[in-house]
Chain A
Amino acid sequence: MVRRKWSAKGIALGAALLVAVIGTLTFYVWYQTESVKLGIDVGKAEGRIRELEKTIETLKLRRAALLDPARVEKIARESLGLVDPKDDEVIYEKRDPSR
């Protein structure tokens, strides 16, 4: 039996090929993992956006309910003791004709 001799060039080429294959596979796995991870992050961020949008809408609704003129008048009159000014107690701003 004759043992085949590997040339240094062949070994280097094989090693380079192996590294390239391993590198490609590693990159592919990393890319897939990152894609999934990013997908999950995007999904979470979208969920958060939806949550925040919902919160904003809820707060807007709450603000509108708090600004209910009937409620404001009740607080002004009953809690703060405010009364309507008499006609001659109201001072009107002079309109700037240039505006």
Chain B
Amino acid sequence: MRTFYESDIRKRALVLSFILAAWAAVVALRLVQLQVFGYARAKAAVLKQNQDKITMEPRRGNILDRNGEILACSLPAVSVFIRPVEKETPETERTKLRDLQGLLGLSEKEVSAILGRLRNKASFTYVKKKVSEEEAARVMALKLPGVDFEPADRRHYPLRGLAAHVLGGLSLTEDNKNGVELRYDDVLKGKEGEKVVFKVSGGRDYQTQVIQSPVPGRDLVLTIDATIQYYAEKELARAVAEHDAVCGTVIVMEPFSGEILALASFPSYDVNDFPGPKNAWMNRAVQLSYEPGSTFKIVTAAAARERKRVGFSEVFDCSAGSISVGGLIIRDHERVGILSFPKVLIKSSNVGTVLFAQRLSIEEFYETIKAFRFGTKTGIDLPAEASGKVFPVKEWNRKTSLSHVAIGYEIMATPLQILQAMNVFATGGRLVRPRIVKDGAGPAAGPAGDADSPVRIISEQTAEELVGRVFEEVVEEGTAKLGRLDGFGIAGKTGTAKKYDAALKTYNTGRYMASFVGFTPIDRPRLAMIVVLDEPKEGTYGGQVCAPVFRDIARQVLRYLRVPPERPLTPRILTAGMEREKRP
């Protein structure tokens, strides 16, 4: 029989067991609540605390010239970032950022933006992207809590300003791009990867798990030749300085492939400092639309000859030095007398050109202009190309427009469009689309196949006749005599266009756009080139200021390409210590 005490102890033990069981049940239920029903929320909270998803930047593709020389490449750099540290006072955070500001050259705006993010408990904030490894080492030495580093790439342009307008550039934050860096950004930048970094409560990483590896960008091979580009830029800069021009541009192209060998625009900038001075950004070769003046007469001549409206032996009376067209006077730069058709172009007579152009109808002339693709972008692989301006036929003044367009006014074209038109004569009548990317662009390169193949727009006979009887003579005895190159024939056309002042509504501004477009050698053309100088002050004519630049660049390029002279060189006669030239 149980005593009273035994019975009491039993009762107490039972009650205690019950209480303990109830407590265990409560704990178990709470665990179920946390682990089962609150699983997703708890997991998210833990993950937020203990891991970071970090974007892995891919290596940006290199940009190479046609010979494989590096024009742009990416080198490892370091991005500095910061995470909030538990129990850190705002004062400490501020002091920490002041230290970083001193070392990394942060602006006040950047510092306050970072402090704002830290106060909002943002788990990851970049302090500065892509600093040099030396700068990163200096920050590392401070051993600041919460400050960490991740590898990144930084863009370098070893040839600094060379081909600046082709390369364009890439700002440090990569939100501002230009040139092929912009046009082929999708190809160059590759594909971002992603990784998860697991960390301890202090913020230190203890494990990294790559979710998706970054795909590096593809290398891009340009048609540019660094050496030819250098010749073009050097001579252009010299010409701009010599003639006190506002700006200028030179394009050198391989006639049959349309590959751009050099594209220079002045003023230029160091691509490493992109974005540099804003006035230097403009790529005048493809973005400048201007009234071309006499260089456009190559199209007028092609239209008239192709339709047999003018013969080479026909003569035109230009002795008055001017002609009245619909009440407006078109003048020659000097009285040139009675000229044959070739001489009209060789001496660049506006009067003679108007006389033979008037044998065309507006519709016929317009058709030829459009066939030469004026008013349409050439399709070169560069951003922001201008299309120029060709007014539709219905907007032409029936009395005056044909004459004005015939001499290169009332029409806007880019230097590249004028070069493309002259190149038609170099290729025997075919229009070739200019290209700046040789390899690596893939489908991003734009039209291919039939759209990319040369298109015949004038007959071979028309092209050959105009080259042999007109454009070659422009350099031999015409307006571009200063552009003669010993050993080589050059076919070309000069242009000196008066600039229109929209405010004053007049062409009598005393400001000119001088140009020369041509190709050489004549038998087997290796290069087509245009030189444009905007507002030259020391000499204004294209033949005076641009043809010599063409000659100087062509001499160096032909030698560099090892093209032997197509004609015998002028013998040098040495007499009693004197050296002088004697032409045959």
Contact = CB atoms under 8 A, between A and B. Distances in A.
A67 B230 CA distance: 12
Interface residues of B, number: 26
Nearest to A94: B564
Contacts of B230: 69-70, 73
B159 A92 contact: no
Nearest to A69: B230
Interface string B69-98: 111011110000000000000000000000
A58 interface: yes
B572 A88 contact: yes
A60 interface: yes
A91 to B, nearest CB: 9
Interface string A44-70: 000000000010011011111101111
Contacts of A90: 559
Contacts of A67: 69
B158 interface: yes
A57 B572 contact: no
B158 A93 contact: no
B70 A87 contact: no
B551 interface: no
A5 interface: no
Contacts of A64: 69-71, 73, 158-159
A87 B226 CA distance: 23
A18 to B, nearest CB: 38
Contacts of B71: 64
B50 interface: no
Q: Which of A60, A62, A67, A69 has the most CB of B within 10 A?
A: A69
B565 interface: yes
A68 B162 contact: yes
Nearest to A71: B159
Contacts of B156: 61
Contacts of A62: 158
Contacts of B562: 92-93
Interface in A22-45: none
A57 B226 contact: no
B31 interface: no
Contacts of A92: 562, 564
B227 interface: yes
A93 B197 CA distance: 62
Nearest to B564: A92
A86 interface: yes
Nearest to A90: B559
A73 to B, nearest CB: 8
Nearest to B571: A88
A88 B75 contact: no
Nearest to A62: B158
Interface in A66-82: 67-70, 73
A26 to B, nearest CB: 29
B158 A61 contact: yes
Contact of A60 (B73, B227, B569): B73
B158 A68 contact: yes
Main secondary structure of the interface of A (DSSP, over half): helix
Given A68-B159, A69-B227, A60 B572 contact: no
A65 to B, nearest CB: 4
Interface residues of A, number: 20
Contacts of B555: 87
6 contacts: A57-B73, A61-B158, A65-B158, A69-B227, A69-B230, A92-B564
B70 A60 contact: yes
Contacts of B446: none
Contacts of A57: 73-76
Contacts of A60: 70, 73
B273 interface: no
Contacts of A69: 159, 162, 226-227, 230
Contacts of A65: 158-159
A86 B571 CA distance: 11
B277 interface: no
Contacts of A86: 572
B311 interface: no
B352 to A, nearest CB: 35
B569 A87 contact: yes
Contacts of B116: none
Given A57-B75, A70-B162, A87-B555, 12 more contacts: A54-B75, A57-B74, A61-B73, A61-B75, A61-B156, A64-B70, A64-B73, A67-B69, A69-B230, A86-B572, A88-B569, A92-B562
Contacts of B73: 57, 60-61, 64
Given A65-B158, A68-B162, A87 B76 contact: no
Contacts of A68: 158-160, 162
B487 interface: yes
A42 to B, nearest CB: 15
A62 B71 CA distance: 12
Interface string B53-83: 0000000000000000111011110000000
Interface in B455-498: 486-487
A69 B485 CA distance: 24
A69 B160 CA distance: 11
Contacts of B226: 69
A87 B159 contact: no
A64 B559 CA distance: 23
Contacts of B487: 87
Interface string B211-232: 0000000000000001100100
B66 to A, nearest CB: 14
Contacts of B227: 69
Given A64-B159, A68-B158, A87 B69 contact: no
A46 to B, nearest CB: 13
Interface in B549-578: 555, 559, 562, 564-565, 569, 571-572
